[in-house]
């Protein structure tokens, strides 16, 4: 037995009613604004959604508006003062007819669809474009384009007479004339050394005529002028780089030699710009590395603290990184490693909760050691939680001492009382509180050690 979901059917019907209602509202709004094509578009959508023609009241309103719209276009087409305004009204009239073509309610709108066919109205539009194209006098190059565009526009509606041939002929003629103009400009530019402009004009000549083949030698001359323009640009950059090199501005020279090489890249290497670029880049990096190295070396003599050693190590590392592409600069990397190691803070941890401290005490400059004597900092935590009593209610008293050599020596007391709680639970709660305090104090300690 097939079950019918009436709730889904009802929901679909309600949604359909809403959407269809929206279309009718949009149609009415467009009609009031005089946008008749849009009004017909949404009216057709509304009627399509109804599946059957609506009741007499709705039917009468829609048909009355259709009749008004048709009369509006018939009147304006007949009285159009110019060919452009006639084309506008005719093309809109044709669009309305296509929107209402082959509808289920064709019988009810046969006063329009029976009177005008899509092909007939399309033919009328095409004819007007044909006349427009014929009326344009071809005097200048752009006149040929205007004629071609008129015939091409008409062809989208209907293949009227020889409109297709005329569209092709005038499009070809325009392309030929325009290509000639670009070509002649390119020749003039080339003669006067304006190679970039010549390149653009020869390319334009080639592109506008390419549907019919290659226009003269426009493609070859585009390539030749492109090379000349790139060469001129590269030479300008090359000379600039040479001046920078002479002034010992090695970093700027390296960048400019690279730009010269890039400018001529499509055609190969430009002179020795690649080699000179690398030479100046090496000198540039050498200068930077030496500056860092001398700075680090000067500060190293007076360094006393772990923090100073680490800072100086980074300067030596900058010297190493600056020249790394060409190898190690002097002993910069070894100096970096030595001072980085010298700047580390060795920490010895003993007592309770050592794992909590180790997990919290993590930083690049901190290393843990098992040697008490070699440690820079010693941490000792002692927990005493033997103060437990059962009566009158479970209670646990504990102490924790947190001692850091040279930084802190603190003792905290903890007391927990819970009704009907076990010793194990009290012990766990006290320990959880102690761990939080250890993590907090250790976090503060890292900041203190970073300044050591």
Q: 48 or 135: whose pLDDT is higher?
A: 135
Has residue 408 got a pLDDT over 70?
A: no
DSSP bridge partners of 411: 401
**Which range among 167-181, 319-333, 361-375, 394-408 shows the weakest confidence by mean pLDDT?**
394-408
Has residue 255 got a pLDDT over 80?
A: yes
Specify the 3-state DSSP secondary structure of 186: helix
Query: Are 308 and 357 found together in one domain?
Result: no
Query: Are 436 and 356 found together in one domain?
Result: yes
- Has residue 429 been placed in a domain? yes
Domain total of the chain: 4
Residue 105 · residue 59 · CB < 8 Å: no
Confidence of residue 407 (pLDDT cuts 50, 70, 90): low
Q: Using a CB cutoff of 8 Å and minimum separation of 24, what contacts does 435-438 make?
A: 435/353, 435/356, 437/400, 437/402, 437/412, 438/353, 438/356, 438/357, 438/360, 438/381, 438/402
- Has residue 58 been placed in a domain? yes
Confidence of residue 62 (pLDDT cuts 50, 70, 90): confident
Query: Are 166 and 149 found together in one domain?
Result: yes
Query: Are 301 and 366 found together in one domain?
Result: no
**Which range among 175-179, 269-273, 372-376, 431-435 shows the weakest confidence by mean pLDDT?**
431-435
Give mean pLDDT, residues 161-190: 98
Confidence of residue 385 (pLDDT cuts 50, 70, 90): low
Has residue 275 got a pLDDT over 60?
A: yes
Read out DSSP for 199-257?
HHHHHHHHHHHGGGS--TTHHHHHHHHHHHHHHHHHHHHHHHHHHHHHTT-HHHHHHHH
Query: Are 337 and 356 found together in one domain?
Result: no
Query: Are 325 and 355 found together in one domain?
Result: no
pLDDT at position 207: 98
Half-sphere exposure of 94 (CA within 13 A, CB side): 21
| Rounded Cα distance, 261 and 271, in Å | 8
Has residue 2 got a pLDDT over 50?
A: no
Containing structural domain, residue 427 = 345-450
Last residue of a domain, one of 216, 232, 261: 216
Of 11-25, 98-112, 214-228, 390-404, the range with the highest mean pLDDT is 214-228
Has residue 431 got a pLDDT over 60?
A: yes
CATH code, domain with 387: 3.30.160
- Has residue 229 been placed in a domain? no
- Has residue 281 been placed in a domain? no
Residue 282, Cβ density class (10 Å: 0-12 exposed, 13-18 middle, ≥19 buried): middle
Give mean pLDDT, residues 11-25: 53
Specify the 3-state DSSP secondary structure of 344: coil
Query: Are 436 and 354 found together in one domain?
Result: yes
Give mean pLDDT, residues 156-175: 98
Query: Are 19 and 72 found together in one domain?
Result: yes
Query: Are 79 and 102 found together in one domain?
Result: yes
- Has residue 354 been placed in a domain? yes
| Rounded Cα distance, 268 and 270, in Å | 6
Last residue of a domain, one of 116, 142, 159: 116
Confidence of residue 21 (pLDDT cuts 50, 70, 90): low
Give mean pLDDT, residues 426-436: 78
pLDDT at position 14: 36
Last residue of a domain, one of 310, 342, 374: 342
pLDDT at position 16: 37
- Has residue 310 been placed in a domain? yes
Has residue 276 got a pLDDT over 80?
A: yes
Has residue 70 got a pLDDT over 70?
A: yes
Has residue 99 got a pLDDT over 90?
A: yes
Query: Are 93 and 142 found together in one domain?
Result: no
| Rounded Cα distance, 368 and 249, in Å | 48
| Span 344-374, pLDDT tens digits | 988 888 877 788 788 888 888 888 888 888 8
Q: Which of 140, 103, 134 is nearest to 118 (CA)?
A: 103
Instruction: Using DSSP bridges, classify how beta strands 395-404 and 408-417 pair: parallel, antiparallel or unpaired.
Output: antiparallel
| Rounded Cα distance, 190 and 228, in Å | 10
Confidence of residue 448 (pLDDT cuts 50, 70, 90): confident
Residue 390 CB partners (closer than 8 Å, separation 6+) = 423
131: tokens are 């006349």
Has residue 128 got a pLDDT over 50?
A: yes
Confidence of residue 35 (pLDDT cuts 50, 70, 90): very high
Query: Are 369 and 308 found together in one domain?
Result: no
Has residue 404 got a pLDDT over 80?
A: no
Q: 152 or 422: whose pLDDT is higher?
A: 152
| Rounded Cα distance, 449 and 297, in Å | 24
Query: Are 322 and 409 found together in one domain?
Result: no
| Span 278-320, pLDDT tens digits | 999 999 999 999 999 999 999 999 999 989 999 999 999 999 9
H-only helix segments in 301-403: 306-323, 332-342, 354-360
Burial annotation 324-359 (CB, 10 A radius, 16+ → b, else e):
eeeeebeebbebbeebbeebbbebbbeebbeebbee
Number of neighbours of residue 170 by Cβ within 10 angstroms: 23
| Span 195-225, pLDDT tens digits | 999 999 999 999 999 999 999 999 999 999 9
Residue 449 CB partners (closer than 8 Å, separation 6+) = 345, 347, 363, 365, 366, 377
pLDDT at position 391: 47
Give mean pLDDT, residues 24-44: 94
pLDDT at position 53: 76
């Amino acid at each position: 037995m097939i079950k019918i979901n009436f709730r889904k059917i009802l929901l679909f019907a309600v949604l359909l009613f809403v959407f269809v209602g929206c279309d009718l509202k949009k149609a009415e709004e467009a009609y009031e604004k005089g946008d008749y094509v849009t009004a017909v578009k949404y009216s057709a959508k509304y009627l399509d959604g109804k599946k059957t023609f609506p009741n007499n009241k709705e039917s009468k309103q829609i048909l009355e508006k259709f009749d008004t719209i048709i009369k509006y276009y018939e009147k304006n087409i007949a009285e159009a003062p110019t060919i452009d305004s006639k084309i506008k009204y005719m093309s809109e009239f044709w669009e309305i007819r296509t929107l209402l073509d082959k509808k289920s309610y064709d019988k009810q709108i046969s006063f329009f669809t029976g009177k005008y066919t899509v092909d007939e109205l399309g033919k009328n539009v095409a004819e007007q474009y044909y006349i427009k194209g014929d009326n344009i006098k071809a005097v200048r190059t752009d006149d040929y384009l205007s004629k071609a565009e008129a015939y091409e526009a008409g062809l989208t509606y209907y293949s009227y007479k020889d409109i297709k041939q005329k569209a092709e002929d005038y499009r070809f003629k325009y392309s030929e004339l325009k290509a000639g103009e670009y070509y002649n400009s390119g020749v003039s530019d080339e003669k006067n050394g304006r190679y970039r402009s010549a390149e653009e004009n020869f390319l334009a000549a080639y592109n506008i005529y390419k549907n019919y083949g290659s226009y003269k030698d426009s493609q070859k001359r585009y390539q030749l002028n492109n090379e000349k323009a790139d060469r001129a640009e590269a030479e300008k950059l090359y000379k600039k780089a040479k001046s920078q090199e002479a002034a010992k501005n090695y970093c700027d020279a390296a960048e400019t030699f690279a730009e010269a090489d890039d400018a001529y890249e499509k055609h190969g290497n430009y002179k020795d710009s690649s080699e000179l670029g690398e030479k100046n880049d090496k000198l540039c990096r050498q200068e930077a590395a030496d500056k860092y190295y001398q700075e680090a070396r000067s500060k190293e003599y007076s360094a006393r603290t772990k923090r100073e050693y680490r800072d100086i190590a980074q300067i030596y590392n900058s010297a190493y990184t600056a020249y790394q592409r060409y190898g190690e600069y002097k002993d910069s990397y070894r100096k970096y490693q030595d001072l980085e190691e010298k700047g580390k803070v060795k920490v010895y941890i003993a007592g309770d909760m050592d794992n909590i401290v180790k997990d919290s005490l993590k930083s690049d400059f901190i290393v843990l050691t098992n040697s008490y004597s070699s440690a820079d900092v010693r941490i000792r935590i002692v927990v005493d939680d033997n103060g437990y009593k059962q009566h009158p209610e479970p209670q646990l008293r504990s102490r924790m001492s947190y001692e850091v050599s040279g930084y802190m020596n603190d003792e905290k007391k903890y007391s927990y009382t819970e009704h009907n709680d076990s010793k194990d639970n009290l012990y766990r709660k006290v320990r959880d509180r102690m761990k939080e305090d250890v993590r907090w104090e250790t976090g503060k300690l890292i900041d203190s050690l970073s300044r050591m």
